Structure formats: structure tokens, C-alpha cells
Amino acid sequence: MPPEIRVEGLSVWYDRHHALKQVSLEVAPGEVLALIGPSGCGKSTFLRTLNRLLEEGGRARISGRVFLGDADIYDAAADIPDLRRRVGMVFQAPNPFPFSIFDNVAYGPRLQGVTDRQALRRIVERSLQQAALWDEVRGKLRRSALTLSGGQQQRLCIARALAVEPEVLLMDEPTASLDPMSTTKIEELVAALRGRYTIVMVTHNLRQAARISDRTAFFAEGTLIEVGPTRQMFTAPLDPRTEQYLTGRYES
Amino acid sequence: MKRGMVWHRVAAVLFAIAAAGFALILGSVLWAGLPDLTWHFLASWPNERTGGGGILPELINTGVMVGLTLVITAPLGLAVAVYRREYRMRRAATLNHLRATLLSAPTIVVGLVVYRVAVGWWHWPVSLLTGCLALAVINWPFMVTVAGEALEGVPQGYREASLALGASRWQTIRRVVIPASLAQLVEGLGMAAARLAGESAALIVTAGVNVSRHWSFWAPGETLAVHIWYIRTEGLVLNRDAAAAATGVTLMVLIAVVLWLSRRIARWLE
Amino acid sequence: MRDWTHGGLARGLLAATALIFLVAGLGLVAALFLGAWRFLGEPSALSNLFGDFWDPLRNRYGVLPFIVGSVVVTLGALVMAVPLALGVAVTLAEQRTAGMKDFAVRALTVLTAVPSVIFGWWGLQMVVPWVRARVGGPGFSLLAAGIVLALMVLPTFSLFFFQSLERVPQSLREGSAALGATPDQTLWRVAFRAAMPGLTNGLLVGVARALGETMAVQMVIGGQTALPSSLTSPGATLTTQIITDMTVFPPGTRGHAVLDIMALLLMLGMYVLVRLAERWGSVS
């Protein structure tokens, strides 16, 4: 059973800019939570606090607490690489390494010291199957990942994330740079993964959020405006700003 | 503390060693050279027998030879680069291999050939002008390279926009491409000047290791860099370390000023 | 309309200049061949040439000591300079502000322009006495030349390595970190690997620079023409021997012809490096 995520009073500053203001939120085990909101509202920043990737940039200051299961991931003793193994991430633009398809998927397991070829092969095959890419790349695993199409690359990145057997999957607008066909495939994939992973997904596409998420959170200007079941959110939002945004009249 | 930073620490240590090495080199040159770097040193003639004394003619020779070489090779280099980049040239790959090979050719090899051709066949004396010829051969491929990079930096859209307005290829080059790459060209020119001012191997055999009482293009034209080598390895003067170092400081200041100036001009052009 | 006719003229001039460049470049090599032919045409020229003994008075023109000298000094410089340059490049690439990186590039560019005689001066001042104090002997040695050369090519290596690491997209580093890689793992398994063409290119450019360097090496290597017996014994390289003997053997003599052959060997080496850089180091 995947863990739940509990965020308490999370704030982020970039230099002076207060990018995320006192966000508190819970994600239930195995659900798909969609994050929506206008550009620059802090939803991507929020996503990147969940695997502490925000700190790689170096400029951000973070306060508040984030629990993954029972453990506070911002605890001083927390092991960041181990956290990121448990929390996989898929990025806005596909970012396969310029290696072979096999090496891309095997990258995570190899980091953890798996060297046995048979074991690696099993992991790669299973991950590619989970990411619905296996049928398209079977027998071509030695080819460079850069020869794949954009949609295939993104599914490869999902396979790469799944290969380390995470419990949570973070997706940062995973279909933003893809064509409609590829987008549909990714959406079907997310639907298939629901329940096995706790999924948090940023999206600009409101209909996508409506299609695949269990609950939706609406951010604006660094604040969490409201969060609730997707169906209710899209039919009867509680906050007038949410309604304005959903009907395309929101101005920040 | 983050885990898995061992190699980053090793890198930081290596960085510190490298920085210390360069501090040691530059520091020791400054330390040994600054006390001897007087107005008199810069403005007087060297002593013919011992190699000591001032460096005025070397200073002049360096300026004249570098300047003359750049005046000759800058347009030639730009021309080759323009033809290669802007026109559909046959044998472009051959030209590129030749350019890259000549660019990395040891300068002493250039000196060897110029010595044979200019001194041996044409009976030029070992002189300032022969040295300029050697510098020109050294610098031409460098100018082709920096000009090529500058042209490469001009967005293709500029060319297409100009051609779409009915400009000819040559008009596009003259009015759009070269003006747009001017800043980078100037910076490349500065790098070339710095490179040439520091050249010594080819000049020792083509321009000579002494200076004449009567300055002329056909008289031996020792440069600052050659002077450093000469007094430090062949000189008889007592304080030859310090004199060489003082010359070295002069040369490095000259190079730094040239690089700084070219960058300022490039900035201004941008 | 004027410019249209000018266009034809300009194009002709440019083409002529490019042609002259080609002819001059090939002519340079041809001149070397012409000079070298006087020796290469002799019977048993090759066995004489690749002997390990250089004594023109006794008609022995073995260039092996110089080839060995060039290779050893260059390798020695690489062994010292490459790790240092990687350290510099990695440390600079870690810097997060653009201003800092810009400054680093400018500083490295200036350092690549430091003249070789400055390094030679420093070698005479510090490295040669140090070797003499440490291992005895004259101090002028392959080791001293290697150390001086290492410092000399260090900025070149650092600049190329840094720039190729900078070209690795940030998204790849993030992708690696998000999979649970430690900074070291990301460095070795993604950054270095993705930057490999650029690193190779920089390496080859640095090798060319080290192999072709003359003065800095000449000042500290000692100029001994016998096959060097150890790293700390004096020696000579192809380039230093050319400059030492050029005035001894005027053009037309057999000795000068051998210098031409040595120059040809160097040019051949440079051409090979250029082709290798094209094959392995093309930055796509």
C-alpha cells in the first residue's frame, strides 16, 4: 500500500519572492491528485518540495513540514537520495539520458548497486511493460533513447521512474510538450497506475485533470485556494476564484 | 550534510591546487619583476653584450609586428571564413581539416618553413618583416577560426530575413552578417593579438634575438617574449632573472590590456 | 544595382583568398616534404632515422630520443593536468550564479593567453631547482618539462572541460537526482558521460597544444639528445630539437632535412588529432 503525504504549513521563498504561502494539504494513499492553477502560482514549486528537488537549484528557502507516511522528509537526519528513490518524478519535457533505452531504465537500479544482468533485464522489461512502451521498443533496447519520439521518450522516463519501485509518483505537466495521441497514452497509463502509487500531477489542462484525477487542488499566487474531490470541484467549487479560473475569467 | 559529495570535495581540492599553482607562477613573476620595472627600464635601449638594460625597442617591435600581422591577416581570415560559411564552397571539408591542422601546428614548424622559404629561397634577412611573415602564417588559421565562430553566432533568421527582402548574398553579408558578428570579431582579434604577443619559438629563428641601433623593417626585431627567453637562457647580465621577470610583467600587462580593451570595444559594439 | 555587380567581384575575391589559403597551407607541408626529400631519398634512410642515436657528426640521425621525449613529456603533462582540470571544471560548474561562471570563463581565457616563456621562466626559477634538490642531477629533465607543460595546458583543459560540462542540460542532472542519485553519482554517471564528446574534444586540443609547445619545454628539458634513461634525466622533444638545431644546420644540409622530417612527423600527429577530434569529439 503506498503511503499518504501530509503537508503542514509549507512556505517557500526565492530570495525575497514568497512563492508558496503556508500550504497544508493531504494526499491519500493511492489516489491521483491534480494540481491546477495559473502560471507561476506555485504548483510546480509545491511538487518539487515533495522530493526535495527544489534544493538542487540552490536559491530556495523552505519552511514547514512534509510527512511521507510517518517520517518528516525535511528532518535534519533525512536521507535525500533515499527519499527520491521512494518518490519518483516525471518532468514537463521528456529528459531521457543520452544513453541507450536499456541504460536509461536500468539507471536507477544500478545506482542502488544492482549489477546482475539477468536481474536488470527483468527490471527493465517489467518497467517498460508498466509504462506501455515494451511492445514498441522490444528488441531495440540498445538504441539511443534519443531516437524515440517525444511521447515514447516521456513513457521511457516514466518507465525509468518506475524501475526504482517508488511509492509516490510526481508528474510535472507530463503531457505539456506532447501531441494529442501521446497525451492519451500517458493519461491511460496514469489511470492504470492509480491505486498502486500515490500520484501528484501538475497540469495546465483542466479537462485532463477532470478526466484522470480523484481530487484536485487549486493554487493561485502561492496559496492553496481549495482542494476537494474533482467532480465536486468542477461542478460546484467553494471559492469564487476557483470558479473564475475554471470558467476562464480568473486574473491574477 | 548531503551524502555522496566525496568526489565534489576532491574536485574542490584539485581546484585549490590548480589555483595555487597559478598564483605561484604569476606571483613569482610579479615578485621578481616588479622591483626592476622602472621607467628607465621601459624607455631605454638594451645592452648589446650582456643582454641587460632597457626594453624600449622590444616593446616597439612587439607592437609593430603584432599590429602589422593583424592588419594583414584579419581581412584574409575573415574572407576565408565568409567564403566557407556564406557561400556553398566545394572542398569545404578539406579546408576545414587544413585549418584545424594548421591551427594546432607547432609554431616552430611554421618558423622552420618560413626560414627556409623567406631566408633560404628569397634571401630575406632575419628581420622584423620575416618575423611578421611567420606571425601571419601562424595567425591566419586562427583568424579563420575565430571569424568562423563569429559568423556561426549570427542567427540564420537574420540572413533569411535579409534575403527575403530582396538583398543579394553579398549585400546580406556586408550589411547584416558582418555587422551582427562585429563584436565577436573584435574579441577574436584581441585573442589573436594576445596570442601573437606571446609568440616566441617561430620568432627566434625568423626575427632574431637582438635589436639594431637603427630601427628598420629589415633589421633584426626581437620581441618582448623572445627577449625573456634570450636573457634568461643566454644572457650574461647579473640580474637576468629579474630583468626577464620585469619584461614578463610588461608583456603580461600588455596582453591583459589588449584583452580588456577588445572586450570593452566588443561590449560597446553589442 | 551597384551591389549586384560588386557581389560577383566580392565573391571572386573571397574565393581567391580561400584558394590562396588552401595553397599556402598545403604549400607549407610541401615545403617540408621538399626539404625532407634530401634525406628520405637516401638508401637506408628509415633505419637511420628510427635509430635511437643522434650524432650528426658521425652521420647518425636517430630521432627516436625526440619522439620518446615528446610522448613522455606530453603524457606526463596530461597525467598531472587532466585531473586538476577536471577538478577546476567540476568546481566551477557547481557555481550557481551566472556572474561567477562568466568570470571564470574570462579568467581561464586570459590564462590561456599567458605566453609560454613565462612558464619557462617559472620552470627555471622553481621547478628545475626543485627537481635538482629532490632527485639530484642537473634538474633539467623530462619531469621538469612535464610539470611546466602541465601548468601551461591546464587553463586550456579547464576551459574546454568546463564548457562541455555546462552544455549538459540541467534537466538531465535533475532527472538523475530525482531517481535517487547522490551528487557524485550524477556527476560520474550522467554529467561526465553526457559530456564525453566535449571532454574528448578538449582532451585532444590540449594534447595538440602540449605536443606542439616549444619554448616552455626547451627552457627546462636540458636538451640532451640521447635516449633518456628516466623521468628525471634530461632529454629533448621534437619541437625543442628543431629549434636547437635549426641554426646549427642551415637549409640544404642533411641535418636540416632531418629537422624537416621531424616537423612532418609533428604535422602528421596534429592531423591525426584533428581527425580523431572530428570523429569522437563532435559536439552535437
- CATH number reported for the structural domain that contains residue B210 in this entry: 1.10.3720.10
Q: Are strands A60-68 and A71-72 parallel, antiparallel or unpaired?
A: antiparallel
Which amino acid is it at A166? P
Q: Taking CB atoms and an 8 Å cutoff, what residues of chain A touch B4?
A: 81
Q: Per the domain annotation, does C185 fall within a domain? A: yes
Q: Per the domain annotation, does B14 fall within a domain? A: no
Q: Per the domain annotation, does B9 fall within a domain? A: no
DSSP, collapsed to helix, strand or coil, labels residue B232 as helix
CB C222 within 8 A of CB C234: yes
Interfacial residues of B (vs A; Cβ cutoff 8 Å): 2-4
The domain total for chain C is 2
* Interface chains of chain B (3 or more CB pairs under 8 Å): A, C
Q: Name the maximum alpha-carbon separation found in chain B.
A: 71
Q: Per the domain annotation, does B4 fall within a domain? A: no
- DSSP character at residue A223: E
Percent of chain A whose pLDDT exceeds 70: 100
pLDDT band for position C213 (cuts 50, 70, 90)? very high
- Rounded to an integer, what distance in angstroms lies between the CA atom of residue C198 and that of residue C167? 9
CB pairs under 8 A between A and B: 5
Nearest-10 Cα torsion for A11, A15, A16, A20: -20
The domain total for chain B is 1
Q: Per the domain annotation, does C73 fall within a domain? A: yes
In this predicted structure, what is the pLDDT of residue C1? 46
CB C68 within 8 A of CB C231: no
CB B22 within 8 A of CB B33: no
> Quick one: C219 and C134 in the same domain?
yes
On the question of pLDDT at C203 being above 80, the answer is yes
> Quick one: C22 and C140 in the same domain?
no
Q: What is the ipTM of this complex?
A: 0.94
Confidence (pTM): 0.93
Cross-strand pairs, A218: A36, A226
Q: Which domain holds residue B195?
A: 37-269
> Quick one: C219 and C262 in the same domain?
yes
pLDDT band for position C43 (cuts 50, 70, 90)? confident
In this predicted structure, what is the pLDDT of residue B50? 67
Q: Which domain holds residue A73?
A: 5-95+168-246
In this predicted structure, what is the pLDDT of residue B49? 67
- Rounded to an integer, what distance in angstroms lies between the CA atom of residue B2 and that of residue B9? 12
User: Please, where are the H alpha helices in chain A?
Assistant: 43-49, 54-57, 80-86, 101-111, 117-130, 134-137, 150-162, 180-193, 206-212, 230-235, 240-246
Q: Taking CB atoms and an 8 Å cutoff, what residues of chain A touch B2?
A: 80
Nearest CB neighbour to B229, from listed C11, C106, C117: C117
On the question of pLDDT at A13 being above 70, the answer is yes
> Quick one: C177 and C117 in the same domain?
yes
pLDDT band for position C283 (cuts 50, 70, 90)? low
Q: Per the domain annotation, does C12 fall within a domain? A: yes
The domain total for chain A is 1
Orientation angle between helical segments C254-280 and C238-246, nearest 10 degrees: 150
In this predicted structure, what is the pLDDT of residue C3? 52
Q: What is the pLDDT of residues C225-261, one digit of tens each?
A: 999 999 999 999 999 999 999 888 988 888 999 999 9
On the question of pLDDT at C2 being above 60, the answer is no
Q: Per the domain annotation, does C110 fall within a domain? A: yes
* Chain A residue with Cα closest to C181: A81
B239 vs chain A: nearest CA distance in angstroms?
53
**Mean pLDDT of the region C98-126:** 93
Strands of the A198-202 sheet, one edge to the other: A87-90, A168-172, A198-202, A32-36, A215-220, A223-229
- Mutation pick from C95, C101, C164, C179 vs chain A, by most beta carbons of A within 10 Å, is C179
Q: What is the pLDDT of residues C150-193, one digit of tens each?
A: 999 999 999 999 999 999 999 999 999 999 999 999 999 999 99
On the question of pLDDT at A128 being above 70, the answer is yes
Q: What is the pLDDT of residues A18-47, one digit of tens each?
A: 999 999 999 999 999 999 999 888 999 999
Q: Taking CB atoms and an 8 Å cutoff, what residues of chain C touch A57?
A: 96
> Quick one: C218 and C142 in the same domain?
yes
On the question of pLDDT at C67 being above 50, the answer is yes
User: Which of the residues in chain B have pLDDT under 50?
Assistant: 1
Cross-strand pairs, C55: C60
Burial (CB count within 10 angstroms: exposed 0-12, middle 13-18, buried 19+), residue A187: middle
**Mean pLDDT of the region A1-15:** 91
> Quick one: C97 and C172 in the same domain?
yes
In this predicted structure, what is the pLDDT of residue C46? 85
For the domain that residue A55 is a member of, what is the CATH number? 3.40.50.300
Query: Which residue would you say has higher pLDDT here, C48 or B16?
Result: B16
| Residues found in chain B | 270
> Quick one: C119 and C237 in the same domain?
yes
* Chain C residue with Cα closest to A161: C179
Nearest CB neighbour to A82, from listed C173, C180, C190: C180
- Rounded to an integer, what distance in angstroms lies between the CA atom of residue C49 and that of residue C113? 36
Contact C243 B4 (CB under 8 A): no
Q: Does B163 touch chain C (CB under 8 A)?
A: no
**Strands (E) located in chain C:** 54-55, 60-61
C115 vs chain B: nearest CA distance in angstroms?
4
Q: What is the pLDDT of residues B91-142, one digit of tens each?
A: 889 999 999 999 999 999 999 999 999 999 999 999 999 999 999 999 999 9
Q: Which domain holds residue C263?
A: 54-280
- Angle B247-B250-B256 from CA coordinates, rounded to 5°: 140
Interfacial residues of C (vs A; Cβ cutoff 8 Å): 96, 169, 171-182, 185, 189-190, 193-194
Contact C177 A112 (CB under 8 A): no
Nearest CB neighbour to A53, from listed C169, C178, C185: C178
* Chain A residue with Cα closest to B2: A80
Q: Per the domain annotation, does B13 fall within a domain? A: no
Q: Per the domain annotation, does C49 fall within a domain? A: no
Q: Taking CB atoms and an 8 Å cutoff, what residues of chain B touch C113?
A: 191, 194-195, 198, 255, 259
Residue with cell 543579394: B168
* Chain A residue with Cα closest to B5: A81
> Quick one: C124 and C246 in the same domain?
yes
